[in-house]
Amino acid sequence: MNIIEVTREILNGFQGIGQFGNPESIHIDHTDSTPDSYGLSSIGDTLISEDITGNQLRQHNFVMYSVTHSFNDYSRLMNSSFLLDLGYYLEKVKGIEFDVHARELGTVVCDDNLYPDENLCTNGEVESKKAILTRITSANGMMFEVLDDDMNEGVRYQLQIYVQYEVESEDF
């Protein structure tokens, strides 16, 4: 699994996800316009730091969108409370291991004539490194859009999610 799949699985593990969306259908990069739909959009991966041995601390940024009902202040309070609880849940998640492919780190060099010492590709295969999730934080949970100009038809909420993970160089 890559960082997107890991994050999607973590979101599915939140007990309250059923009240806000269908855990069987976390879409990637979109939501449907019907209530109980949500999606996860990957918006970038950044190198935070790298030590002398090549170990990296990276951060992957996401936006989770969800479409839900918003009939009155009580339902909007419940939706905002859900985002708050989800943020608390995400902060507790740590230590999940997954694979990162060299292509995802921007280090794939398969031309042995250009970089004979790199040896990143074996038989056309892209090697992978082990990574470990170290921290998840969230921010800017809010109502993002009113659908069809009618609060009763549904609204789209967003939550920005930041996933930090370490990649050790010695796995190459």
63, 91, 82: which is closest to 160 by C-alpha? Answer: 63
- Categorise residue 161: left if φ over 0, alpha if ψ from -120 to 50, beta otherwise: beta
Q: Looking at per-residue confidence, does 108 or 57 come out higher?
A: 57
Summarize the confidence of residues 131-142 as an average pLDDT. 94
Please say whether the beta carbons of 7 and 64 come within 8 A.
no
**Residue 12: predicted pLDDT:** 84
Rounded alpha-carbon distances, angstroms, from residue 78 to 68, 92, 122, 158, 172: 11, 22, 52, 14, 47
Task: Render pLDDT for 65-97 as a digit per residue (tens, 0 to 9).
Answer: 988 888 888 988 988 898 899 999 999 999 999
Query: What does the block give as tokens for 49?
Result: 């730091």
56, 61, 47, 49: which is closest to 7 by C-alpha? Answer: 61
Query: CA 56 to CA 35: how far, in whole Å?
Result: 40
| Single pTM value for the model | 0.80
Query: What does the block give as tokens for 97?
Result: 């291991």
Please say whether the beta carbons of 133 and 93 come within 8 A.
yes
Task: Render pLDDT for 9-52 as a digit per residue (tens, 0 to 9).
Answer: 899 888 767 555 555 667 788 777 777 777 899 999 999 999 99
Domains of the chain: 3-100+132-166 (3.30.2000)
